[in-house]
């Protein structure tokens, strides 16, 4: 039976069972529910009377679902006002997540912000298959680094970069990846984070002939291929169905990647 046969297409109202502060701007909201997701998939979260928005699955342990949310605007501010016991609607999981690639025995993972959690989920699966992992986690400063504890428990070579040098390597995630590629033959690179970071890593991989899996966020309204809000220029494909995780070949066809994205009304916004 397919894994996503249990998918919820109608929001299920679930109480928030606990909240975990990750940094000054990000909290993980937990629900006692399992949605049998693949690493890299997302759910739609509905706050009645407010809106419905997409969020990546940070934890899906079999007993708990966890969504790591950055407070950035009206919806997420409303969510941060909710308390344990308050209910939100969840539907999903949606989209195509990260996958295990045949023959990829040595991989690099590059994450930034809440993008680190979906990568950790696929990393935890790959470790079981004895894949060698170099995991790079980057942030502007130490206080903004996410999921360092979870990373430290992963059987992988961990690199941390901060722009200001307050923790780990001073610089960008592109610094360690360049060094790794000089020394080792890497089969695949997994990328999830802010799009300009993703583009910089993708360009390095293209120059070295290495395939990537990249999670691409676009404005999503339905999350299920109906409204067309998340269609990208170049391929015209909806990222909620074709992605959010796509391979290098697909990314090459997305002419807006690393340049602009569209708002809910279709207006282009440069990165
Ligand atoms: C597949 C996917 C996975 C995501 N995973 C996470 C996650 O794990 N954690 C997290 O904090 N955020 C995640 N986001 C982004 C999240 O959906 C937005 O931060 C949220 O919708 C912001 O809403 P707001 O009203 O608080 O802020 P707004 O002020 O409305 O928006 C702030 C920013 O969020 C983007 N955004 C707003 N609405 C949407 C939407 N409907 N779809 C996509 N982007 C939107 C806007 O482009 C804008 O740049 C994800 C988005 C996608 C597409
Ligand atoms: S969000 Fe509606 S088609 Fe993708």
Question: For the segment 52-77, what is each residue's pLDDT rounded down to a tens digit?
Answer: 999 999 999 999 999 999 999 999 99
Are 94 and 223 a contacting pair, CB within 8 Å? yes
Indicate whether 140 pLDDT > 60: yes
Indicate whether 2 pLDDT > 80: no
Indicate whether 4 pLDDT > 50: no
Name the pairing type of β-strands 51-56 and 42-47: antiparallel
Higher-pLDDT residue of 9, 142:
142
Indicate whether 51 pLDDT > 70: yes
pLDDT at 8: 82
Task: Please write down the HEC assignment for all residues of 22-38.
Answer: EECCEEEEEECCCCCCC
The answer to whether the CB of 84 is under 6 A from ligand 2 is no
Please tell me the distance between residue 53's alpha carbon and the centre of ligand 1 in angstroms. 6
Please tell me the distance between residue 219's alpha carbon and the centre of ligand 2 in angstroms. 8
Question: Which atom of ligand 2 lies at the shortest distance from residue 219's CA?
Answer: 1
Last residue of a domain, one of 94, 117, 141: 94
Indicate whether 3 pLDDT > 80: no
54 and 149 both lie in a single domain? no
Name the pairing type of β-strands 169-170 and 157-162: parallel
65 and 167 both lie in a single domain? no
Question: Which atom of ligand 1 lies at the shortest distance from residue 74's CA?
Answer: 25
The CATH number that applies at residue 240 is 3.40.50.80
The token pair that represents 20 in the structure block: 């975990």
Mutate to test the pocket of ligand 2, among 216, 228, 237 (most ligand atoms within 8 A of CB): 228
Q: How confident is the model at residue 9 (pLDDT cuts 50, 70, 90)?
A: confident
DSSP state of 184: S
249 and 166 both lie in a single domain? yes
How large a percentage of the chain has pLDDT more than 70? 98
Please tell me the distance between residue 270's alpha carbon and the centre of ligand 1 in angstroms. 16
Indicate whether 48 pLDDT > 90: yes
Cα torsion through 35, 36, 41, 44, rounded to 10: -10
- Please give the residue range of the domain that contains residue 79: 3-94
122 and 234 both lie in a single domain? yes
Handedness of CA 42, 45, 50, 51 (dihedral sign): positive
Into how many domains does the chain fold? Answer: 2
Are 70 and 80 a contacting pair, CB within 8 Å? no
Last residue of a domain, one of 94, 116, 131: 94
The answer to whether the CB of 230 is under 6 A from ligand 2 is yes
Q: Give a yes or no: residue 100 inside a domain.
A: no
The token pair that represents 55 in the structure block: 């969020």
Q: Give a yes or no: residue 99 inside a domain.
A: no
Q: Which residues contact 81 (CB under 8 A, 6 or more apart)?
A: none
pLDDT at 1: 40
The answer to whether the CB of 231 is under 6 A from ligand 1 is no
209 and 242 both lie in a single domain? yes
What is the number of H-type helices and E-type strands within the chain?
A: 7, 17
8 and 75 both lie in a single domain? yes
103: left (phi over 0), alpha (psi -120 to 50) or beta: left
pTM score of the predicted model: 0.96
How does pLDDT run across 161-202, given as a tens digit for each residue? 999 999 999 999 999 999 999 999 999 999 999 999 999 999
254 and 126 both lie in a single domain? yes
* 81 SS3 class: helix
**Residues linked to residue 213 through DSSP beta bridges, in sequence order:** 190, 247
CA distances 196 to 58, 112, 201, 205, Å, are 22, 11, 9, 14
Are 3 and 36 a contacting pair, CB within 8 Å? yes
pLDDT at 6: 56
């Amino acid at each position: 039976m397919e894994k996503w046969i249990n998918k919820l297409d109608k929001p299920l109202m679930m109480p928030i069972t606990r909240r975990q502060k990750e940094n000054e701007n990000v909290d993980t909201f937990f629900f006692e529910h399992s949605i049998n997701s693949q690493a890299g998939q997302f759910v739609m979260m509905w706050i009645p009377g407010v809106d419905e928005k997409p969020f990546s699955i940070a934890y899906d342990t079999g007993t708990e679902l966890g969504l790591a949310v950055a407070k950035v605007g009206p919806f997420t501010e409303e969510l941060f006002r909710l308390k344990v016991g308050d209910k939100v609607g969840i539907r999903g999981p949606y989209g195509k997540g990260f996958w295990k690639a045949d023959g990829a025995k040595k991989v690099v993972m590059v994450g930034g912000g809440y993008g680190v959690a979906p990568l950790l989920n696929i990393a935890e699966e790959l470790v079981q298959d004895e894949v060698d992992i170099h995991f790079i986690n980057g942030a502007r400063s130490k206080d903004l680094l996410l999921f360092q504890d979870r990373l430290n428990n992963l059987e992988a070579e961990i690199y941390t970069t901060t722009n200001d040098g307050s923790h780990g390597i001073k610089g960008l995630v592109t610094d360690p990846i360049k060094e790794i590629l000089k020394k080792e033959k890497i089969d695949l690179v997994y990328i999830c984070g802010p799009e300009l970071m993703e583009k910089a890593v993708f360009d390095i991989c293209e120059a070295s002939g290495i395939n990537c899996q990249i999670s691409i966020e676009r404005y999503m309204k339905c999350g299920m291929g109906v409204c067309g809000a998340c269609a990208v220029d170049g391929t015209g494909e909806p990222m909620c169905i074709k992605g959010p995780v796509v391979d290098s070949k697909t990314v090459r066809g997305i002419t807006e990647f690393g340049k602009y994205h569209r708002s809910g009304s279709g207006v282009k916004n440069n990165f």
